Amino acid sequence: MRKEDCKEYRLKHPGQAAEASRRWKLKNKERNKEINKAWKQAHKENVRRTSQKTYLAYCIPSEYELIENYEIAKAENFKGWSCHHRLELHPDNSIRFTRESLKRLGLYLNRPANELIFLKQDEHAKMHAEGQWNE
């Protein structure tokens, strides 16, 4: 079927493709869960390495194991943990750096471990929402 024919069909039958997609997802929901679970189990080490990539660039390579809460996050395979720059929010809330401003100042990548901390994702979100940093 040509692209133009597909567009014409969708115009004549609005919502039909979305409904078919929804029915297929519902029908295959459990099967897809099992497939995803099996894949994650088989590729556990790759999943861990992918998670590590998100913070390895933040820290000086030889120091990433010194980031606060690293061992706890590693024990949980970094699932549900965020690596946070301490410079984004100061304890007294007087200065707040954004990711972009840290990048402009050259303070975003290859930082010493003492400038970073692993936080549970819900703590991280709450901290940003309240605009507070409690040490």
Tens-place pLDDT, residues 14-60: 888 888 888 888 888 888 888 888 877 777 666 555 555 666 788 88
Containing 84, the helix (H) or strand (E) segment is strand 81-85
What is the pLDDT averaged over residues 4-21?
85
0.75 exceeded by pTM: no
**First-to-last CA distance in the chain?**
62
